[in-house]
Amino acid sequence: QGTEFLVSRQVKAICHYKDYIEVHDSTQKIHTTDVLILAIPLNALQQINFSPPVPMELRKVMNNKLKLRLMLTSFIAGYGDAHWRNAGYSGSFLKNEPFIVGYEYRPNVYGGMMIHDSGSESLVRSIVLKAFAENYGEAMETPHSYNQHTFELSSLAHMPFTTPWHRIVWSSSAAASTCYRGFLGGAVQSGLRAALNALLLVRPQVVSWTDVADVHCQNCPNIKDVGALQLWMSGLNLYNVGYYTLYASSVLLALQLAVKKFG
């Protein structure tokens, strides 16, 4: 079957039945599916009408609003000279209040980030340059180029939802359960788990319990460090061992009988 991507369509309603799910979009179209993977933040569920309503624990998360909204602004400043090196520093900078991180990006370029409240974006430049000037000299306050970009800081005020709700599977960076939650790696891990959960619903015979278990971070062994004997032993199983043992015993017994008869 072909795959079709429908863009510029907003999901308006999700009707959850026993054996299937109906998805109603903004163009009045209805899409029917066996399993639905929702790869959206949980707070975005408020924009979708669910029938029947979502469980109470999910509604608590949807209605949970953080009192403080934090932003992260990354910046990069260019100078004619590396003033921090002239002052005898490597350029690594850390300040607690406000939280500022600075580092040497290139020989004459300085970069970093600052965490602040929402609405303080216009003050970031003056705050960080003043902090750098106090440590590296007044020349840090006058870069010949300066750029900054502000992002909303990811806030995870709920436990990860890794268990499907009937035929609805949750998938997002915040739904990752073991590592890199809130980051790109968490989104990849969550997507893999969601795909296996969906496969468990539609093709349970091809999925084992180890497949749907949470993936844990671990150091993978280097295949080059494994010897030939270990590789050969790892390829054996009980059936092969039993079969070849019986085969070798039969050959040995036949040889012994032949020696006694003709020897």
**Torsion angle, CA of 234/237/241/244, rounded to 10 degrees?**
-100
Task: Return d(Cα 34, Cα 20) in angstroms, integer.
Answer: 5
Dihedral of CA atoms 24, 28, 32, 33 in degrees, nearest 10, equals -50
Question: With the CA atoms of 188, 190, 191 and 197 taken in that order, what torsion angle do they form, in degrees rounded to the nearest 10?
Answer: 150
User: Do residue 98 and residue 172 come from a single domain?
Assistant: no
Domain span including residue 144: 70-152
What local confidence, expressed as pLDDT, does residue 24 receive?
Answer: 95
Note whether 104 and 134 are same-domain residues: yes
Tell whether 123 is covered by a domain. yes
Give the pLDDT score at 216.
47
Within-domain flag for 141: yes
Instruction: Output the pLDDT for position 154.
Output: 62
Q: What is the pLDDT of residue 79?
A: 96
Consecutive 10-residue averages of pLDDT for the chain (263 residues) = 76 92 93 90 80 79 64 94 92 93 94 92 95 94 95 66 83 68 70 84 78 55 60 60 79 87 75
> Are residues 23 and 145 both part of a single domain?
no
Helix ranges (H only) for 3-137 are 56-62, 83-86, 124-136
Q: Is residue 19 part of a domain?
A: yes
Flag whether 182 is in a domain: no
Assess whether 120 and 144 both reside in one domain.
yes
In a domain, 103, yes or no: yes
Are the CB atoms for 165 and 173 separated by under 8 Å?
no
Extended strands (E) in 34-193: 36-38, 49-51, 70-78, 93-95, 100-106, 109-117, 145-152, 168-170
| 105 shares its domain with 170 | no
User: How many structural domains does the chain have?
Assistant: 3
Residue 1 lies in a domain: no
Domain-located, residue 5: no
Q: Is 117 contained in some domain? A: yes
CATH number at residue 40: 3.50.50.60
